[in-house]
Structure 1
């Protein structure tokens, strides 16, 4: 077996973990918010469906309700309705085996109201997405075939520079990390989005309000960084991915709100208390695992099924890590700082060497012994990430699958593959 990494503050945990209050509170808040949003939309408020890599902060500043496409897909998948939504896509004559994570939301519009999660997603007035590939654009163009929905696309620019240790540079010196023409393009498109929304909703945009939103987002990122660093330094792991993912990601979809900032702060204090009290996900932790890729929404229980047999605990996902490193942007021009948040967002996760350096840094800081790398069909640069981790002495299991598509016995196949990997390369 590879010797587990150690840290100066390794502790002996005797108190079993309980469900994080932050996770329970975030889920409850999201249900209440969704119900309020449905009421507002029924009363005439506009609704936007926004991809995760589009600047939601503009909608926040203008008071326009929005739903994040990936979040809604995760809810549909978690409710075991992903296959039915994808079958709807296939019935319309479109591929149901590509970009499922993007397409599930579209397919869910055909779910009966009594079956759809939380009453179903209202028909959005606008869909907003960065066109990171031809297929992504096609999915969102299909939304706009409905007479009540319009599509605002952002261009996808490519990195021409790849600074080392981007996570140290981008908060305050993002103009050194991203080429000026990329920042110019997205700043211009941000203003075009403002004009697009103003003309169609009659709502006003105030730059001072966006500045307030940006301050709250930065504060939220600072709390997430404290939480990430505390978890990285603690042995055994004090919280499970099953809890940390919703506790982090639901507030992330409310970035720029006081609730989002306060939820991130509450999560940190709860994790701090868990560390202080010696609580652990699994006190017999022997192997620390890293999950690279999107969350396995249709089977989050997978992350805990290797503890009793192997002493293997998943201690890392990209959600808390990117919330800690990927969002903070400071500067006097809030619109350009917002452009800096999203112009290079995909690069941080998927463009080598930027992405590969970051994953290696996170693996080392968290003391992981092995990595499970879920590779979707629209994820570029995955081979470089795997190569960098293997070069650093960390074994990697690559699995080609979609995180929201449970068809074909995906969960069972994943569990078998991870068990074989642990026995063959990690514990052998």
Structure 2
């Protein structure tokens, strides 16, 4: 099966966009480096060019330069065996072959992140060793007990999921970020522009939800996660743009056509797998390695699924509604009880036979996710390693571990194509 046209188009757009961003930096514009857990929508509304830290880490890893970047981090006197995914951008500045990294990451004038732990703050504070770089931190607030089936309520009734106090705090921090950006960029914030950005994002994510539902219902699966991940995530880094919405539409339409045509990644699909955790950008071929010999296909990753369930927000005040999008985004992916119940739901709707769970050192709630899946009758292989550290991945023998795990699953599906 050839690569999705939506994926090819997204990758081409990203290369072109990054060239434009580098040109804007060369012309003297302030560039921001923003962590995925902090609001990018304000930057888009103000037309402040930005790079998402995790996207850049994926580029570094895909180019097989993670090891060299971590060595640079160690040379600066920082730990290279913790928060590897967060620090790759910092280390990439010292990589010898900058051309391999599309010419290199422009020097940011602003870095933005949520303080999800002491280490995260230290990672971003490290950028301020350069006096021209300013750091804006968001506070990390604690998850609250929430209603079951939060994904049915969160788009509109977000206070009951995350708590009014948490949302109010982040909304105030959003206002502080606006003032911070106006001072450092000379740009002016317009509330109506943010409202437009938020509307476009809801339209984009509603399309992603429809795409996720198509994939969940299809037996056998018509698309690989190695195609849907870039086709979803590149537009995600451009949330709130006309292009991002159009890209989500293109992906949906292409997947719908494949479903209608009865397309299959593996016609004799025997084992359906779910990948929980961050992507293996340095070895995306691993997701395809078990298809021909074992009839095993990865049908799920968090990227399309969280776009479908985790980002849609409707509200009258765009600043407060934006806070409701980000105040709990990491809770939905990692914190009990929100994350475990969601993964169980996704495993059931996608009819998976087993889960490969990649656990990094900064995912404190990972064990609750594994236990919830196992209690629901879904076998889980836990692999404890950072997706951004080739040394840890080699020690974990990821490919061999998955092959042995798949062999224990056999043909776990019933006649209706669902998990027994």
TM-score of the alignment, normalized to the shorter chain, above 0.5: yes
SS of residue paired to 2:156: helix
For 2:205, which of 221, 225, 247 is the aligned residue? 221
**Cα distance change, pair 176–38 in 1 and its aligned pair in 2 (3 A):** same
1:140-151 alignment, distance < 5 Å: 140-151=124-135
For 1:266, which of 250, 271, 281 is the aligned residue? 250
Q: Deviations over 1:13-56 (max 9, x none)?
A: xxxx2210000000000000000010011001110000001000
Q: Does 1:204 align with 2:184?
A: no
Q: Does 1:41 align with 2:21?
A: no
Equivalent residue number for residue 389 of structure 1: 373
Q: Does 1:276 align with 2:260?
A: yes
Per-residue deviation, 1:94:
1.3
Per-residue deviation, 1:389:
0.6
Q: Does 1:255 align with 2:235?
A: no
Q: Does 1:423 align with 2:407?
A: yes
CA contact (8 A) 2:35 2:112 kept: yes
1:295-314 alignment, distance < 5 Å: 295-314=279-298
Equivalent residue number for residue 61 of structure 1: 45
CA contact (8 A) 1:395 1:426 kept: no
How many pairs were matched up?
412
For 1:91, which of 57, 75, 79 is the aligned residue? 75
Counterpart CA distance in 1 for 2:393 and 2:14 is 30
Equivalent residue number for residue 360 of structure 1: 344
Moved more, 216-225 or 170-179: 170-179
Per-residue deviation, 1:407:
2.4
Equivalent residue number for residue 339 of structure 1: 323
Counterpart CA distance in 2 for 1:19 and 1:306 is 18
Equivalent residue number for residue 79 of structure 1: 63
Counterpart CA distance in 1 for 2:15 and 2:126 is 27
SS of residue paired to 1:407: helix
Q: Which 4+ runs in 1 deviate beyond 6 A?
A: none
For 2:300, which of 310, 313, 316 is the aligned residue? 316
Q: Deviations over 1:128-168 (max 9, x none)?
A: 00010000110000011112211000000002232211111
> Over aligned residues, Cα RMSD in angstroms?
1.3
- Greater RCO, 1 or 2 (C-alpha within 8 Å, sep 6+): 1
CA contact (8 A) 1:370 1:426 kept: no
Counterpart CA distance in 2 for 1:159 and 1:379 is 14
CA contact (8 A) 2:385 2:393 kept: no
1:164-243 alignment, distance < 5 Å: 164-243=148-227
Counterpart CA distance in 2 for 1:293 and 1:166 is 20
SS of residue paired to 1:171: coil
**Cα distance change, pair 411–254 in 1 and its aligned pair in 2 (3 A):** farther
Moved more, 111-120 or 50-59: 111-120
Equivalent residue number for residue 5 of structure 1: none
Structure 1 stretches lacking a partner, 5+ long: 1-16
Counterpart CA distance in 1 for 2:396 and 2:173 is 44
Counterpart CA distance in 1 for 2:140 and 2:293 is 44
SS of residue paired to 2:189: coil
TM-score normalised by structure 2 residue count: 0.96
Equivalent residue number for residue 159 of structure 1: 143
TM-score normalised by structure 1 residue count: 0.94
CA contact (8 A) 2:384 2:396 kept: no
Q: Deviations over 1:394-428 (max 9, x none)?
A: 10000001112122562981010011112235569
Per-residue deviation, 1:278:
1.8
**Cα distance change, pair 217–422 in 1 and its aligned pair in 2 (3 A):** same
